[in-house]
A and B are shown apart, each in its own frame.
Chain A
Amino acid sequence: MAFKRAPVLSLLSVTTIAFSLFAFGLFGLVALNIRRQLNQLEDRVEIRAFVVDGTNAEATSSALGDIASFPEVSTVKLVSPEEALVRARRELGEFSDVFEAGILPASIDVKLKEGYRDPATVASVAGRIKNYDFIDDVRFGEEWVQKLYRIRTIATLAGAVLGLAFAGVAVIIIGSTIRMAVLARAREISIMRVVGATDGFIRSPFLIEGVLKGTLGGLLALLFTYAANSLIGKFVFSAEFFDAKYAIGGVAAGALIGLLGSAFSVGRHLRDV
């Protein structure tokens, strides 16, 4: 009905809703995939504290007990210089010759429990371990963990800001299509009032129109996001798509934007009729 009366504005409202959710969707996808990556990497997050040469065994073993009792810590393991050498050889393969026995120091390797692997917690645990006199240096792969976290935050934020901006524009555009629709039906509306139609009854077709446009915009956004995801999957790297819960949530968000846009507008303009 609205599409016949104001096709350009109607199309515009549907597409702005679609773009709003598309922005949400794209950046959401980036955040989602980084999050997945992080979860995998987080399994490997490990703090390695190097022990000063010549530290007595009693001191290290009591430290091991202390560290094991930290609430964040899942496992603690003492790695002797010999074991370190074996591990280094295994990890470095052909360059293994460069290592001579005795070069590598002993270390305390600490794994953290799930949920305690974010950069801040890792750094705080590392800091506590560093407090021992006989600990020389602590490494915990801080750069890449922090970098990934930062990218995820930026992606989430960029998606939210862009999406919200588009959503705002969508609400305004829907508002003006509703305004036109109300004015086009001013006579009908005034007669409805005269014969005793309730405001809810008068309002409902406009609200339904808003919800329909919003849902259409949401479906379009889902389609765009899916297409973008497939393209990335084909040419860049394989990325995972939202599960059904998020996809439905996205379309519902479109319906909500449509409903809000028309609800704000119809209340205001009905008063002028």
Chain B
Amino acid sequence: MIRFTHVFKEFPRTGLALQDVSFHVGKGEFVFLTGPSGAGKSTILKLIFLEERPTKGEVKVSGVSSVTIRGRDVPKLRRKMGVVFQDFRLLEDRTVEANIAFALEVTGAQPSAIGPKVSRLLGQVGLASKATSLPRELSGGEQQRVAIARALANDPVVLIADEPTGNLDERATRGIFQLLRDINASGTAIIMATHNLELIRRAECRTIEMNHGAIVFDSAEQAIAYPASGGDEA
């Protein structure tokens, strides 16, 4: 469903952020992306999300190639993905339910469908009682739940999370991780960048480790060979 084929990404001033990255993520998988700061984790997520395009190589998401996609088709593809960030990125002047509804409003959802959908999402992330709160009235963990609900609003096939627990204490981290596991269990693939090794060790999910812009370890490579990914290592 997501396939990187010999992807290079070069930034004007900082040089190569990714070099020869190849991997594949199937439907409904849960993948950790780990590695030191500056390794290229966020860059990989941005490429999946088409916020950036590869300098060389190809990124394919749901059959759509980064090489051939036209700019005006990008929003459509994005609706198949949900994104969550370390800093939540909520609109501070809007209530929890308005923040979630926002994702539906700006993608042209039926107005009558928005209310029920928001209630359902709030229930799913365990915030049914906080619908009319403002983000600043919530804990960090709760704010991240709102962001996750917003990311799920358009029923994505994959949820991309860039260090979603980076700002959270251990308890909140466990709560958010459990929520992500539940979401994954209902069929949504999840790619989560994190350097919380404790979390990775206990979870026993597929893990891709990056360093200096290259994949240095992919736990999936050890179990099964992926024909189109990381051929030189397999």
Query: Which residues of A line the B interface, CB within 8 A?
Result: 187-188, 190-199, 201-202
Contacts and interface: CB of A to CB of B under 8 A. Distances in A.
Interface stretch (B75-83, B113-121, B185-193, B199-207): B75-83
B13 interface: no
A195 B154 contact: yes
Given A201-B106, A201-B108, A194 B154 contact: no
Contact of B107 (A187, A190, A197, A199): A197
Contact of B78 (A187, A188, A196): A196
A192 B107 CA distance: 8
B83 A194 contact: yes
B75 A188 contact: no
Contacts of A192: 102, 106
B160 to A, nearest CB: 10
> Size class of B's contact patch?
20 to 34
Nearest to A195: B103
Interface in B79-98: 79, 83, 89, 91
Contacts of B103: 195
Contact of B72 (A190, A191, A199): A199
The interface centre, meaning the residue of A187, A197, A199, A201 with most chain B CB atoms within 10 A of its CB, is: A197
15 contacts: A191-B89, A191-B91, A192-B102, A192-B106, A193-B75, A195-B78, A195-B151, A196-B75, A196-B78, A196-B79, A196-B106, A197-B106, A198-B75, A199-B72, A202-B106
Contacts of A194: 49, 78, 83, 89
B3 interface: no
A193 B72 CA distance: 12
Given A187-B91, A191-B91, A196 B102 contact: no
Interface of A, helix, strand, loop or mixed by DSSP: helix
Contacts of B154: 195-196
Contacts of B75: 193, 196-199
B102 A198 contact: no
Contacts of B151: 195
B151 to A, nearest CB: 8
Given A195-B153, A196-B107, A197-B107, A187 B89 contact: yes
Contacts of B107: 195-197
Contact of A195 (B51, B72, B76, B106): B106
B150 interface: yes
A273 to B, nearest CB: 12
A195 B51 CA distance: 12
B76 A196 contact: yes
A187 B93 CA distance: 12
A187 B49 CA distance: 18
Contacts of B78: 193-196
Nearest to B89: A191
Closest 8 CB pairs of A and B: A196-B78, A196-B79, A197-B106, A195-B103, A198-B75, A196-B75, A192-B106, A194-B83
Interface string B58-72: 000000000000011
A231 B83 CA distance: 63
B89 A190 contact: yes
Nearest to B104: A195
A191 to B, nearest CB: 6
A192 B150 CA distance: 11
A5 B64 CA distance: 41
Contacts of A187: 89, 91
